[in-house]
């Protein structure tokens, strides 16, 4: 990609907003989406009349045929660019990619991206189990009734078989993430845990225990994106998009070519190329941690360690604050919150706080460049973003 056609430095995030998270009875997905958007607008110090682009992701609890248009109507925003995006957990970061392209090509000037859901209180246990068991291929997966954690257990078993990864190394992902969450006053789970706690928690799908699995939550998050030229007019320090890349390998896990490698390698390579950076330039990472083995695969595929070395990398403490690559500094999906597709948006707002220098006790010293990555489906759709304090 030539520099002239690159999105590097063309847009910036100028506003962020997170709702409360956890168990929020009486607050529906639409209300949370609007709340998050309003918070982001306040952070950006702009009126909603300045928004001429809107991107949302549909709710799993309360879906709408035209979700973004519904939110625009509810907020009384009248955009010239309006999109409901669906890429599973990767939706939030793909939305940044789409917003940047729309701004760079003149389709709009300032985009609000807002996403929320209420999976914790909006679904009964029975509804949640039906949903979890019906996402697989209708012919080759769904008839067997295996819920989503079983697919990720296959991935964990494959990584353990091929590379000698241990349950203790998987548990180290959860332990480190919980340590970071303990420093985040907005995290759902802040009590410290150790390797033994993870291994002694309830077995969900061998080898995954309860603490290897992400939370189920209510909550929403939003960002405001605008051109680099307009970004300087906002009160908070802009955080610039340096690189973006996507990678898509399959829809259903039964069609995956590998259970230990993913299209994160392609999305990362494309993001690094756009940014003109390498993994060595990254000061911290916010990675999709729906289950502990996913973090190992992402660390490997994004170039932070060699294939098969994700377990030892985490076990050695490299992903902890003060380590080589502080990862999921807010607590991630494992300990901060996970309201479904909007879950990765909280990683994005955390990255913005880190690059603004506003992360408090969990601040990564001297953070200049951050990488955020998310995946949708079962290692299916991947999106990688590189963000920086400076546009150049």
How many folded domains does the chain comprise?
1
Check pLDDT > 80 for residue 201: yes
Token pair of 350, please? 């955390």
Token pair of 32, please? 């949370």
Q: How far is CA 282 from CA 203, 326, 339, 371, in A?
A: 35, 10, 27, 7
In a domain, 355, yes or no: yes
For the segment 248-306, what is each residue's pLDDT rounded down to a tens digit? 999 888 899 999 999 999 999 999 999 999 999 999 999 999 999 999 999 999 999 99
CB distance 58 to 88 below 8 Å: no
Task: Say how far apart CA 346 and CA 325 lie, in whole Å.
Answer: 19
- Number of other residues whose CB lies within 10 A of the CB of residue 65: 8
The residue written with tokens 């408090």 in the block is 360
Alpha helices (H) in 105-234, listed in sequence order: 119-122, 125-133, 148-163, 167-181, 195-200, 228-231
In a domain, 357, yes or no: yes
Token pair of 137, please? 């291929």
Residue 128 has what pLDDT? 72
pLDDT band of residue 89 (cuts 50, 70, 90) is confident
Token pair of 246, please? 């996507």
| 224 SS3 class | strand
For the segment 338-382, what is each residue's pLDDT rounded down to a tens digit? 999 999 999 999 999 999 999 999 999 999 999 999 999 999 999
- Domain range for 271: 3-122+215-388
In a domain, 198, yes or no: no
Between these two residues, 204 and 123, which has the higher pLDDT value? 204
CATH number of the CATH domain containing 95: 3.40.47.10
For the segment 45-82, what is each residue's pLDDT rounded down to a tens digit? 999 999 999 999 999 999 999 999 999 999 999 999 99
Check pLDDT > 90 for residue 113: yes
In a domain, 139, yes or no: no
Residue 134 has what pLDDT? 67
The residue written with tokens 């990767």 in the block is 90
For the segment 131-142, what is each residue's pLDDT rounded down to a tens digit? 766 677 888 877
In a domain, 148, yes or no: no
In a domain, 187, yes or no: no
Check pLDDT > 50 for residue 4: no
Contacts of 238 (CB under 8 A, 6+ apart): 12, 13, 14, 228, 231, 232
In a domain, 149, yes or no: no
Closest CA to 147 of 264, 24, 290: 290
Residue 54 has what pLDDT? 98
CB distance 354 to 387 below 8 Å: no
- What's the mean per-residue pLDDT of the chain? 94
In a domain, 138, yes or no: no
């Amino acid at each position: 990609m030539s520099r002239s056609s690159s999105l590097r430095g063309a847009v910036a995030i100028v506003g962020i907003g997170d709702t409360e998270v956890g168990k929020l009875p009486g607050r529906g997905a639409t209300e949370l989406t609007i709340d998050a958007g309003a918070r982001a607008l306040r952070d950006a110090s702009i009126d909603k009349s300045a928004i001429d682009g809107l991107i949302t992701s549909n709710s799993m609890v309360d879906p709408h045929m035209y979700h973004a248009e519904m939110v625009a109507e509810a907020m009384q925003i009248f955009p010239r660019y309006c999109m409901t995006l669906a890429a599973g957990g990767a939706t939030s970061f793909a939305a940044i990619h789409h917003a940047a392209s729309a701004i760079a090509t003149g389709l709009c000037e300032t985009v609000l991206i807002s996403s929320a859901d209420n999976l914790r209180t909006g679904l009964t246990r029975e509804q949640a189990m039906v949903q979890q068991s019906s996402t697989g291929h209708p012919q080759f997966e769904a008839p067997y009734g295996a819920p989503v954690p079983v697919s990720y257990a296959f991935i964990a078993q494959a990584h353990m078989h091929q590379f000698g990864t241990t349950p203790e190394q998987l548990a180290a992902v959860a332990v480190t993430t919980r340590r970071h969450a303990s420093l985040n006053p907005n995290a759902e789970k802040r009590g410290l845990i150790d390797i033994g706690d993870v291994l002694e928690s309830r077995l969900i799908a061998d080898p995954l225990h309860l603490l290897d699995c992400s939370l189920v939550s209510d909550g929403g998050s939003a960002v405001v994106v605008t051109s680099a030229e307009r970004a300087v007019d906002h009160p908070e320090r802009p955080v610039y998009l340096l690189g973006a890349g996507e990678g898509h390998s399959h829809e259903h896990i039964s069609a995956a070519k590998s259970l230990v490698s993913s299209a994160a390698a392609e999305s990362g390579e494309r993001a690094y190329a756009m940014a003109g950076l390498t993994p060595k330039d990254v000061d911290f990472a916010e990675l999709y941690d729906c289950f502990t083995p996913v973090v190992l695969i992402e660390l490997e595929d994004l170039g932070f360690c060699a294939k098969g070395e994700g377990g030892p990398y985490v076990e050695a403490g490299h992903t902890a604050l003060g380590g080589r690559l502080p990862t999921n500094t807010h607590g991630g999906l494992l300990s901060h919150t996970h309201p479904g597709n909007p879950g990765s948006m909280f990683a994005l707002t955390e990255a913005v706080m880190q690059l603004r220098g506003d992360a408090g006790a969990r601040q990564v010293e001297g953070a200049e460049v951050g990488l955020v990555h998310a995946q949708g489906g079962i290692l299916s759709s991947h999106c990688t973003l590189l963000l920086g304090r400076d546009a150049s």
